[in-house]
Structure 1
Amino acid sequence: MKTSKSETILSTLIAKGNLYGSGAEGIKAQNIVVSNQNDWDTLITKMNSVNTVTSGFSEVEIDFSVFDVVAVFGEVKGSGGFSLDLNMTKNSENIVVAIKQNAPDRLSNSVMTQPFYIVKVRKSDLPIIFTKTNE
């Protein structure tokens, strides 16, 4: 049995935070890979449908001939303080996106939030798989 060595993938953080539309954005908890401008425009429009979230993004102009966007959305929560972290590695077979869901460490405000995490990565022929982690 061969073991495949993992290495960390360089990614550029586009945005990490929360949507505050109580789910009205219509974005379900999901992990997506955006590989073209049309899908990116659709996602941005949805994210901005309640509040202009993308004004805080580090970039919105993506060169999809070179990069893909990995976007992770958590569940809509009944209070604030929730967040996501991503760790991306690759081996000879896959790119693995390990998702850590962070809960608030103390009582938080009672506003409905939906955590998200969006990064840009270099395009690859390897399939991207998502896993959940507690680390």
Structure 2
Amino acid sequence: MSSRPLSLTVAAAVAVIFGLLTIVSGGRAIFGGVDMGAVVPFVLWFNFGAGFAYVLAGIGLWRGGAWAPMLALGIAVATALIFAAFLWHVLTDGAWEARTMGAMILRTGIWTAIAALALRGKKPT
């Protein structure tokens, strides 16, 4: 039986599922010709690429990889920085969709929580 805390198991599963959903939705928007309205290209491309990192981080957390908590923290920080850049875009009258605001709030919150759980569950080296 694994000594991994249940919260970390849930965080790992959320990361993988969220990552796969992000890859599919981002891929549809970028490559599938789906009209997503006033997308902000740097946010769309970041989120699509980050989806692969989400999956990798989730697998690493699941397997107990020593590198996984730092990857989760890196994802959280990078997402917060992209969110800040998106807010700047909004404040300077760039075109945007309300769902992007909600998605960035959600992504930043989820990855902040995953990183906190991962760092708390990190085994001392």
Q: Write 1 or 2 for the structure with the bigger share of helix.
A: 2
Q: Write 1 or 2 for the structure with the bigger share of strand.
A: 1
Q: TM-score, structure 1 length as denominator?
A: 0.32
